[in-house]
Amino acid sequence: MRKKLLTTYILIIAVTVIVTVIFSWTKVNRHLYDQVEETSELKIKLVEQIFEFEFKEPDFDIQDFAVEYGGKTDLRITIIDMEGVVLADSWSEPATMENHKYRAEFKEALKGNAEKSIRFSSTLGKYYFYFAIPINTEGFDGAMRISLPVESIESLVLDMISSILIGLIIGVVLSFGIAYTFTRRFVKPIDELTATAKLISSGDYDHKVYIDNNDQIGELADAFNTMTFTMRKNLWNIEAKNAELQAILVSMDTGLAAIDENYKIILCNDPFMDLLQINEEVVGKLFFEVTRNPHVFTVIEKSIDDDEYVEEEMSVTNKGEIKSLKISAMPIKDKKKQERHGVLIAIEDVTKLRKLETIRRDFVSNVTHELKTPLTSIKGFVGALKEGASKDPEVTKRFLDIIDIESDRLTMLIEDILSLSEIESMRMDKNTGMVRIAGVVVEVRDLLLSQAIDKDIELIIDVQEDLPEFKCNRDRIKQLFINLVDNSIKYTDEGSVRIKCYLSRDKEFIVIKVSDTGIGIEEEHLPRLFERFYRIDKGRSRKIGGTGLGLSIVKHIVELYQGTIDVKSVYGESTTFKIRLPLR
């Protein structure tokens, strides 16, 4: 391990040095070149301004100007005209220099652009950094260039890198020494721990590790010694604990508890305590000390006495609500020795399941009753016609009209049941598309207008003009409007029915309101208004042809689109249904 640690430290140091040198070289080189570029730009602009000023003087000599300011700035200054002829150069005789029109930096400068470049100078035989700018002053058009040898920049870079390398070499030597010392000190206590661990792994638990360090190694040694003591103390209890752990493998939604044969609670979970309304620590206590529920105690006692699975159901009042609980008890046995260690109690809240069963039974009963009524009526009138009533044409016509009405009612009921069943079985609607709510409202108005006119009821439409389209099944949303508006017309004797659709303030919902000035609904009936076959006035409902499923279908359509529906009513005055459909 000592070799691995030392090797790791050396590799880290080596990589650090290499990365530092590469990074430093790149950054320093770039930094110095950037500084040279910035300085050169400032100098050439300053020289340009001086040139423009002195050029106006009558005794101005362009070569003398280049030599003078080239010496002052320690730069080579070259000036050419628009044809590339060298007019002045601070380091060479212009007459001996070739045309510079096609040199890279001058080529751009003569076009009116500042340009810089690094290239080999054929005149001086070295690599130079060049910076050229256009000169456009009164009486002269051309370009000016300054240059300095690249080797002067590189010498600065090399000097700086040399200083960095010397510092790094000293740092590396010191790091190697520190790494070696630290590795020796770090590995020594680990070697002691390793030797002691080998002894303990062979079954010898009497050895301890003696390390005086106060760091993590010292804490590790203390934890190691504590672990050795705990292993020796708890070895005999492992088998019993394994049997107890089997009781935990149950659904967390179910209340569970493990009880030994002396009726002491070994363990339990929170749902168990919540369902039995226990508000104290129960582990280690006798079961009958924490709850006096006779049903649970009977199940436990029977399971222990008969050594078999026992199940029973009971009702309890929890937080003011009556709940149905299914209690089951199963003996806890050791699979190898077949010894019984106690009983596992599971308590499951089956309130919702029982309510669903009740709803199913009520639904079957209501459907049977609703089907039986029109069928009995039809059968009775058919029997009367068979017994001689058919001889009277007027009686026959009246009986056939009644049979027709009852047949229509039976058809409506079956269609509503099938529609409700279809909607309930859906998670997502089918055949959906973007639908204009305004268009659907107009169709519903045209469909039900004659019904409203017959009762002298005003049918009012109030739809927001820029209401966005809603993604839904058009037939489904039309059925929603028909059921609500038809219901309002039926239970309104005079006045009006208003359909209002608008976008909510947060622009996240389409709000639909169907209000009427009808007979209203008493407050006691509002909570059950959307139940299947629930009628406030059963006689009136059947008389006007209702099936008792219309509002239930509306509610399920709204929920299919993750919406909400509520109703407000003033008995004897008005009723308003409000629907909020989210725009997805």
> Quick one: 334 and 477 in the same domain?
no
Strands 564-570 and 574-582: antiparallel
212-247 pLDDT, tens digit per residue, is 666 667 777 777 777 777 777 776 676 666 566 555
* Mean pLDDT value across residues 83-98: 87
Is 369 domain-assigned?
yes
> Quick one: 537 and 448 in the same domain?
yes
Check residue 206 and give its pLDDT.
67
Is 166 domain-assigned?
no
Mapping DSSP onto H, E and C, the string for 211-246 reads: CCCCCHHHHHHHHHHHHHHHHHHHHHHHHHHHHHHH
- The last residue of a domain, from among 155, 171, 190: 155
d(CA 59, CA 345) in angstroms, rounded, equals: 116
Q: Which of 66-70, 227-231, 470-474, 517-521 is the least confident region?
A: 227-231
Is 168 domain-assigned?
no
Residue type, 331: P
Is 189 domain-assigned?
no
Is 167 domain-assigned?
no
What tokens does 383 get? 């029997």
pLDDT at 74 over 50: yes
> Quick one: 326 and 410 in the same domain?
no
> Quick one: 43 and 148 in the same domain?
yes
> Quick one: 270 and 363 in the same domain?
no
Domain range for 305 is 250-349
Is 108 domain-assigned?
yes
Is 187 domain-assigned?
no
> Quick one: 377 and 474 in the same domain?
no
Is 173 domain-assigned?
no
d(CA 195, CA 246) in angstroms, rounded, equals: 37
> Quick one: 344 and 362 in the same domain?
no
> Quick one: 71 and 138 in the same domain?
yes
Check residue 500 and give its pLDDT.
93
> Quick one: 377 and 499 in the same domain?
no
What are the Cα distances from residue 73, in Å, to 21, 40, 47, 178, 285?
33, 10, 9, 51, 98
d(CA 111, CA 250) in angstroms, rounded, equals: 85
* Mean pLDDT value across residues 81-103: 87
CATH number of the structural domain spanning residue 395: 1.10.287.130
User: How many domains does the chain fold into?
Assistant: 5
Check residue 288 and give its pLDDT.
78
178-191 pLDDT, tens digit per residue, is 767 777 666 666 77
> Quick one: 15 and 85 in the same domain?
yes
398-432 pLDDT, tens digit per residue, is 777 777 776 766 676 676 666 666 666 666 777 78
> Quick one: 439 and 576 in the same domain?
yes
* Mean pLDDT value across residues 126-145: 84
> Quick one: 108 and 26 in the same domain?
yes
* E-only strand ranges, 378-440: 433-435
Report the sign of the C-alpha dihedral through residues 309, 313, 317, 319, in that order: positive
pLDDT at 249 over 50: no
- The last residue of a domain, from among 404, 421, 438: 421
In the 8-state DSSP scheme, what is residue 525?
Answer: G
What tokens does 533 get? 């076959």
CATH number of the structural domain spanning residue 533: 3.30.565.10
- The last residue of a domain, from among 405, 421, 437: 421
CATH number of the structural domain spanning residue 319: 3.30.450.20
